Structure 1
Amino acid sequence: MIVYHSLLVGLLVRDALALPTRRGWEATRDIPNPLSLGAGQEILVGIRNRRAAGLQSLLADHAPLSLRPSAREVRGSFDARGEWIAAYAVEPPHRGSFQFGPIDLRTWRPHGWWARQVRILAPQAAAVYPNVLAIRQYQLTLRRGMPYRPGQRRSRPPGAATSFAGLRDYIAGDDPRRINWKATARRDQPVTMELEAERGQQVMILLDCGRLMTAPAGLLTKLDHAVNAALLLGWLAQQQGDRVGLIAFTDQVDSFLAPQRGPTQVNRLNEALYGVRAQYVEPDFGEAFGQLARRVTRRSLVVVLTDVLDPGASRELVTQALWLSARHLVLVVAMEDPALVAARDAPIDRSARAYEWAAAEELLATRRQSFEALRRGGVLGLDVPAGKLSPALVERYLELKERALL
């Protein structure tokens, strides 16, 4: 019996000694710089210790909970060099600066009796900016030839200002009228002409940061959906050779970015959008539109990112947009309220539901009337679900470029 116990103790001691001590651990954390608002992104945590080769492990990274990490713990094993890379995802719902804390690590031998836990200090700051990841994805899409090419036209609508940009191989879906038959005969395959839209125009983004923009729309608020759309639009306008500027406003103009052209302007736009915050006040459209009229004299495409729901605010928006449209091309962009649409479309199975339906229908009717008044006055409108705002706004901007309305 004594021999058995001695052997058992010896095995336990050997198993414990085979585990690395609390020293000698190295940790790195690879965080996208910056993190993109509302987008899923991968965090990589690298752990290294020569004595950890072949060990099983359990890792818990002290990531900010507000970044919505996909997992609190990650399991894995160290390779023959004593290295392991753990991965998890975050999906930040808010802009701002965040702090990562230490990394807790537990290791053990396969079929072993002991485990050792260590805490590795790894403080690290991370910033969540408007969705720059969408820009990278759009760049990749453009490189693949779908759906658009910067500065180039898919078609040639009547009255559009175009210039010859070059020749390329025909792609299914191209306008057959743009086939260059001489080049096709020389190359013995279909060749189409690229037509370039007019460049050097101007886009002003007016971002409403008032009360209605605080409403949640999925993971993000309406303001954050608008912020992401504004950045993507600004980048695309720069790609098209257009100038882009910004006015963010509540009951006053909170920030003004003069329209300019070039990649550095996109960086300035990103910084400006990073800092905007919604406030529980009514937006002053008159003040914002008035400052735009005084400070931006060149005819511009004015994109107003707002919400059209409150009857009083909607009347002011319509009045000011119609006034501004005498000098600029105005596009009012609003996000549908999914809860409001659901309240209207749900079956009326009790008397209380009838009141809910009536209230929802009244608000939606006000919304429809506002857009109809804008349309009659020559103001463009776009009303889409918040989750589809960015692609819908890009589509409308490119459509306006194609139609040469500016």
Structure 2
Amino acid sequence: MHFFKSLYIAKVVYYFIVGIVFLFVLAFVFPFLLGITQLFFMVLILMLLVDSIILYKTKKGILCERNVPERLSNGDENPIAIFIENRYSFSILLEIIDEIPFQFQKRDLLFNTTLKSSEKQIIEYQLRPTKRGEYSFGAVNVYVKSPIRLLKRRYQFSNEKMVAVYPSFLQMRAYELMAISNRLTELGIKKIRRIGQSQEFEQIRQYVQGDDIRNINWKATARRNDIMVNAYQEEKSQNVYCLIDKGRVMQMPFDGLSLLDYAINATLILSNIAINKQDKAGVITFSDRIGQILAADKRGGQMTKILELLYKQKTRFLETDYEALYIYAKTHIRQRSLLLLYTNFETVTSMRRQLPYFRKLAKDHLLMVIFFENTELKTLLDKPAVTTEEIYHKTIAEKYFYEKQQIVRELGQYGIQALLTPPQNLTVNTVNKYLELKSRGII
């Protein structure tokens, strides 16, 4: 039974069978064809028998193994590798079908290759998950053809594996490596000149060209008979909280990811940068009620806690309760902190309903409201309108597009920082805004 389950007939055999049947039919009209047709049929049967013996005389002719990372990064291209070794004594043709998780909705993941005897090969491809959670990989199916190419033998390697998809830790590592090598500008992070100075005194040192002359310490200069300046260091250990809205407005999709997933990926990267700058990073999720909470900290293991917390987040599809957020912040966040609020507003009216809570949060903390551009509207605005219907659609699109700009202006009138960004630029723009606020010393 195992033999028949693993044996497959190549397409060319069916073509031969159709040709032989056609010759048998013609033999009724031209009797001399009967002998030739019978000979062809016997040769075909003999070749099939020889091909099956060649394929099955080696018990384990193929070695195959799939290598998958222990966890996948959401929204990123993750490398997958399939290792194959030919243990036959002849060259073979291979068809490889990998049973990847159903979430990718790919039914045509087929690889064709050729291997010489004892040759090894690694087939690499990329998978881009767009949802967090558990992904189940199935078996790897390898179909082998001998040089005769009439039959195929299937080898099935049960490399079944459950892999968790986490927020974008690959982007986090990329930003971290770029920061170490001082190449963040390649990712769009701006070099921001520090405006003003912190009041946290560090040391008195000798003046070098470029130092602010307002920092000259005249008493020390007189004692040393050399120009000395006061050096200040950047304030550290400040609280940076990422507040993630899990309400229905964050379920809107863009390029396969929801706005919630974009916010989660940006939170992971910003928290890592904040901790590297010696600030304390924390996370609060909320919707119709307060969700998961992680107090701001910078000790070792904090990034692991943030990653595990963000992995479990799901949209609740309910209206967000900003009053509950304000009450929690008022009660539990005692120290003045930077609050990065990831949410979304489509109209000025929807923002104004929450404005009283924003103003109360901004009294005790530095609040930055981060929401998203509707890139589809922008595309529609850039496209010329021809018909009456298109003009009508463009007029409505302009209304909603400029309402987003008005939201930024109104928040600014009350001293609330606002960041309107396309989803794909969320991480870069948020990091730039954080660094700008740090440079201005207003956190």
TM tier, smaller:
0.7 to 0.9
Please state how far the C-alpha of 1:304 moved relative to its aligned partner: 0.4
Asked whether 1:322 is paired with 2:322, we answer no
Change (3 A) 1:25 1:314: same
After superposition, where does 1:152-191 map in structure 2 within 5 Å? 155-160=193-198, 177=210
Could you tell me whether the CA contact under 8 Å between 2:93 and 2:144 is conserved in 1? yes
Change (3 A) 1:57 1:297: same
Change (3 A) 1:83 1:381: same
Q: Deviations over 1:232-289 (max 9, x none)?
A: 1111111111111111111111211111113411111111111111132221112112
| Matched residue type, 1:156 | R
Q: Distance in 2 between matches of 1:22 and 1:234?
A: 54
Instruction: Look up the match of 1:19.
Output: 55
Instruction: Look up the match of 1:36.
Output: 73
| Matched residue type, 1:202 | N
Q: Partner of 2:184: helix, strand, or coil?
A: coil
Please state how far the C-alpha of 1:94 moved relative to its aligned partner: 0.8
Q: Distance in 1 between matches of 2:402 and 2:39?
A: 88
Could you tell me whether the CA contact under 8 Å between 1:103 and 1:119 is conserved in 2? yes
Q: Is there any run of 5+ residues in structure 2 with no aligned partner, and where?
A: 1-35, 186-190, 204-208, 213-230
Instruction: Look up the match of 2:246.
Output: 209
| Matched residue type, 1:290 | I
Could you tell me whether the CA contact under 8 Å between 2:84 and 2:122 is conserved in 1? yes
Please state how far the C-alpha of 1:25 moved relative to its aligned partner: 4.8
Q: TM-score, normalised by structure 2?
A: 0.77
Instruction: Look up the match of 2:166.
Output: 129
Q: Distance in 1 between matches of 2:72 and 2:61?
A: 30
Q: Distance in 1 between matches of 2:233 and 2:240?
A: 18
Could you tell me whether the CA contact under 8 Å between 1:330 and 1:380 is conserved in 2? yes
Q: Greater Rg, structure 1 or structure 2?
A: 2
Percent of aligned positions that are identical: 25
| Matched residue type, 1:277 | K
Q: Distance in 1 between matches of 2:171 and 2:201?
A: 29
Change (3 A) 1:122 1:333: same
Q: TM-score, normalised by structure 1?
A: 0.83
Asked whether 1:59 is paired with 2:114, we answer no
Could you tell me whether the CA contact under 8 Å between 2:145 and 2:152 is conserved in 1? yes
Question: Hey, which of these two has a bigger chunk of helix by percent?
Answer: 2
Q: Which of the numbers 304, 311, 314 marks the counterpart of 1:274?
A: 311
Q: Distance in 2 between matches of 1:97 and 1:38?
A: 15
Q: Distance in 2 between matches of 1:344 and 1:5?
A: 68
Answer with 28-37 or 63-72: which moved more: 63-72
Change (3 A) 1:177 1:32: farther
Q: Which of the numbers 302, 313, 326 marks the counterpart of 2:350?
A: 313
Q: Distance in 1 between matches of 2:104 and 2:300?
A: 29
Instruction: Look up the match of 1:245.
Output: 282
Could you tell me whether the CA contact under 8 Å between 1:68 and 1:91 is conserved in 2? no
Could you tell me whether the CA contact under 8 Å between 2:247 and 2:316 is conserved in 1? yes
Q: Deviations over 1:111-132 (max 9, x none)?
A: 6443322222221111111000
Please state how far the C-alpha of 1:9 moved relative to its aligned partner: 6.7
Asked whether 1:283 is paired with 2:320, we answer yes
Please state how far the C-alpha of 1:71 moved relative to its aligned partner: 5.8
Q: Distance in 1 between matches of 2:264 and 2:75?
A: 11
The alignment covers a number of residue pairs equal to 379
Q: Is there any run of 5+ residues in structure 1 with no aligned partner, and where?
A: 166-175, 180-193
Q: Distance in 2 between matches of 1:15 and 1:321?
A: 76
Q: Distance in 1 between matches of 2:285 and 2:158?
A: 40
Q: Partner of 1:308: helix, strand, or coil?
A: coil
Please state how far the C-alpha of 1:53 moved relative to its aligned partner: 6.4
Answer with 387-396 or 19-28: which moved more: 19-28
Change (3 A) 1:259 1:238: same
Asked whether 1:364 is paired with 2:397, we answer no
Q: Distance in 1 between matches of 2:105 and 2:171?
A: 19
Q: Partner of 1:225: helix, strand, or coil?
A: helix
